[in-house]
Amino acid sequence: LISTGGLGPTKDDITKLTFADYFGTKLVLNQQILDDLSERFAQMGRTLNDLNKAQAMVPESAESFTSPVGTAPVTWFTKQGKSIISLPGVPGEMRYLLENLVIPKLKERYTTDQIIHRTLLLAGIPESNLAEMLSVVDDEILAFTNSDARFKLAYLPDLGTIKLRLTGIGSDQKLIEQKISQWEKEIRAAANKYIYGEGSSTLPQAIGDLMRSLNATLCTAESCTGGYLAHLITSVPGSGDYYQGSIVAYANDVKTDALQVSQSTIDTDGAVSESVCGQLVRGALAKFDTTFAIATTGIAGPSGATEGKPAGTVWIGVGTHDQIITRRYNFNRNRADNIHLFAISALDLLRRFAKGLDQA
């Protein structure tokens, strides 16, 4: 139990007295703490007044520790194997003492389990398919029994992405790390194509890292995503280094005027079509002259559905001056979720295309 605050020199600071009362002990002078305080004050050219001196009065039955970052000492009661610790409430003092005194001492005095996480981030695969793909590893993890190391594989799906968290808990840190590394390797072998990152990174960050590593530039041509794809890309600080811009071609006129989409293709195939999608990629590459371009054209809903193209249908294209690939996806969500899924799918298709994992 760690309490903070109420340790100052004024009358409304009652924590020390309350603890002493609760534990049936009294306050006594701690000479070491008084000497430490005197020395510190002397270095600042100050002398202790009575209120400062009173800070060296500490509960007799507790351990007390001088604080190197303030005048209030730390008191530490131990009862029935439990620690009851009183820290000052000033945030800087509290943080310092917690990190440099309390946590190290807790580790000395108690043995606790290690908790080790390894988190892999995936896109472009439904949770159920991923679970199928990882069934062997999953079974290995479930079957593993050891009192010093227990493991769990958690599937944490978000809209369009999945966080796969492998957790090991136990006293045998070496065994935990070894098993986690082994299973991570197996997971990567089974689902490599879908893994875009690890830890707390995001898909737009992964795209940024990829563009930088390839020394490549990027642009977008967006219909149904309406600027959201550009927004995800530019949410990454420094994205201006690789991202040139976007044409948000919400109206068909903009598709034909700004992106050289052929009016006759729109008339024949519709704006939501593989052919228009390919022309949007080509138009964007011509306009921005980047290494890569992404294009989206679809129906975010709720209105706009046509025969054979329900709301949630999208064509996504990615390409370079040399090669363009297009893919059709169907989602069935509300407008906001469809737009998010379109954009995530577009970023993920670019990732796989640029890494040579998905080609024409």
**x-or-dash string of contact with its own copies, 308-337, rule CB under 8 A:** ---------------------------xx-
User: What are the distances in angstroms from CA 237 to CA 212, 240, 282, 299?
Assistant: 13, 8, 27, 30
- Which one of 20, 34, 55, 222 is in contact with its own copies (CB under 8 A)? 222
Residue count of the chain: 360
Asked whether position 303 contacts its own copies by CB under 8 A, the answer is yes
Taking the complex as a whole, how short is the minimal distance between the CB of residue 221 and its own copies, in angstroms? 10
The interface with its own copies within residues 223-262 (CB under 8 A) comprises 225-231, 233-235, 237-240, 243-251, 253-254, 257-258
Asked whether position 125 contacts its own copies by CB under 8 A, the answer is no
Nearer to its own copies, 67 or 239 (CB): 239
H or E element, residue 339: helix 335-354
Looking at residue 100, its amino acid is N
Asked whether position 302 contacts its own copies by CB under 8 A, the answer is yes
Nearer to its own copies, 19 or 342 (CB): 342
Q: Which string of DSSP letters, residue by residue, matches 260-288?
A: ---HHHHHHH-SSSHHHHHHHHHHHHHHH
Q: How far apart are CA 53 and CA 31, in angstroms?
A: 10
Q: Which stretch binds its own copies (CB under 8 A): 14-22, 44-52, 70-78, 301-309?
A: 301-309
Residue 294, CA atoms < 13 Å, CB-side half-sphere: 33
Binding-site residue total for its own copies (CB under 8 A)? Answer: 39
Where does 100-226 have alpha helices with state H? 103-109, 127-133, 135-143, 173-191, 203-213
Asked whether position 126 contacts its own copies by CB under 8 A, the answer is no
According to DSSP, the residues that pair with 117 across neighbouring strands are 167
Asked whether position 287 contacts its own copies by CB under 8 A, the answer is yes
* Pairing of β 292-298 and β 218-222: parallel
Contact 270, 261 (CB under 8 A): no
Asked whether position 7 contacts its own copies by CB under 8 A, the answer is no
Using CB under 8 A, list all residues that contact its own copies.
Answer: 220, 222, 225-231, 233-235, 237-240, 243-251, 253-254, 257-258, 287-288, 300-304, 335-336, 339
